[in-house]
Chain A
Amino acid sequence: MSPPLLGVEEEGQSRVSSPSVECISHNGLGIRERNYLGLSDFCSVDSSGVPDDNGNNLNLKATELRLGLPGSQSPERETEHCFLNSGKLDEKTLFPLLPSKDGICSSSQRSVVTGNKRGFSEVKGTIYTEKKWMGHGAVPDSQSLQPVSHGKYSVAQASVKKDGPANVVQEQPCTSNGTKVNRTDISNNSSAPTAKAQVVGWPPIRSFRTKTLTTSSKNNDEVDGKPGPGTLFVKVSMDGAPYLRKVDLRMYSTYQELSSALEKMFSCFTLGQCGAHGTPGKEILSESKLKDLLHGSEYVLTYEDKDGDWMLVGDVPWEMFIETCRRLKIMKSADAIGLAPKAMDKSKKDC
């Protein structure tokens, strides 16, 4: 394995965890979408000049679906996705495999499939040579026959490989400095929980596992000032609602945020329009209306703490709350009478 370029290795490692890695790698490597299926040539012309940004952005016009009647024109379709062999995205082409009675459809489907197969068979057997992977991008000349598109890819890759790291090295000093600065800023700010936003469901670890690991690390006293594990899901139930929801308490930093999130989540219930399919409409309450409902006399937010007691939400500081809260419940005010009245006033102020 060839050693990484000087200066790149360390940068590489810090870049791996930098949030700006995406734009750097795309621009630095200049990877472009190629027509490597070996279909119509005109498509490659179009794609060569197109920077990645266009490819990534949602071109809403292009995705706009129209019932393409035969003979109709779709003037401004993007031609980059030309595997369908035409710029038109009419329905017939989109559904080549509708009931086989439709002869037109099945033939266009066939052409698409063979087109693909042709492309793949050309590519097959020529892609994976070890040499290429060892980072030198040299494709043995004898193998770069017809597949123009494939050849393009490998050549591009070779040039990219040479240029890429160099580009990256030039660009990196500013960016990595930038990110380093950001990180120290954030770590100095003690109230911010983590240095980057939490992506839901990533990394893909079952909540069962993170839960058991959480309690394990707490027991072992290994929490040494590090931010806690990423998620803290608790169940939320509401009187009269047919099922529970779950919220991640670590997504919020104040009672206000939690309260608004819950309002949004349960808004469909409060007007009694939940449940069995077939109920008229799915009108969503406007937020202000719901706030009135929640803040008014109808419902209060309560939680069960680690000792199994039900308390009104809002009494304790937020950090303490998320430590002790096991589950939440939106109760009708009438049912919450047993809870301390003093706390009740307080919660009306806070929530």
Chain B
Amino acid sequence: MLGIVRQKMLEQSLKKIRPAVSVLRSYSSAAKQMTVREALNSALDEEMSADSKVFLMGEEVGEYQGAYKITKGLLDKYGPERVLDTPITEAGFTGIAVGAAYYGVKPVVEFMTFNFSMQAIDHIINSAAKTNYMSSGRISVPIVFRGPNGAAAGVGAQHSQCYAAWYASCPGLKVLAPYSSEDARGLLKAGIRDPDPVVFLENELLYGESFPVSDEVLDSSFCLPIGKAKIERKGKDVTIAAYSKMVGYALKAAETLEKDGIDAEVINLRSIRPLDRSTINASVRKTNRLVTVEEAFPQHGVGAEICASIVEESFAYLDAPVERIAGADVPMPYAANLERMAVPQVEDIVRAAKRTCYRSVS
């Protein structure tokens, strides 16, 4: 059965290589629509039913059905021993989950937003990420930290930071950032099965968005590889690399650019650590131009790392300097118009791509 799944996935990928007009929405057979929220919920449900060592822990995950309703229905199904409502003690309950993971149970810790993970970051980095190394392989930590990351709408500076770069700089962690429902399901299942600590960065604004999913994705053993990016749209003129919500913006930008005769290749990073350098480099060697897009602060960010990787490995192939699109270098403002200016928009990506193609100086 699994062999058939793999074969079907291969066929699926072959189908995607054929050019499609409206990129994301119309490929493949029997497309059912699924929101990212449903994808995450079903992934958690399936993993919890497959392995009784998996349990959930976090604020409001039980009776409230999840602060963003991601864990809806799981308390009723699995009971309070496996879906634990915690007091407001990030440092405490994260540490408890890590200690439990030392003993082989598989906690999935929810942070109401990743901003709150800063209260628990000592445990994520020092007790979870570094332990397999410090104990020289004797104690592994099969834990998943998940929750919404990055900007939402009008939530202000302390609720809007993106933590991808911070966590991805730490060896011992795997950092995943899904975009579509397929990504959400596949990567969360992969993360839960993984024997290492995984930081799973979701996006609040994507929870309600619907994506088509094929039967393979709906299968309960569906899993995506950690560390492999996905080429959402093939192109030949410029590579646009993005993760999470910015993938959607990049795809819209690609549509706009197509009208101006620029054929953009959009890469959905999916995995920030390990970063899929080979895919990005292969793509840049083909197109010779790169735009990186992220919502986070620009300094020391994911875009900076990708740029460094390209310069180290594919410098001779670049025809134009790398363009980095990132959030504004300010704490997130509250006013709606300022907020819009502090986060990349589709026009910014289009302009950046045109700059790399020397079609524009602005």
A binds B: no
CB within 8 Å of A: which residues of B?
A: none
CB within 8 Å of B: which residues of A?
A: none
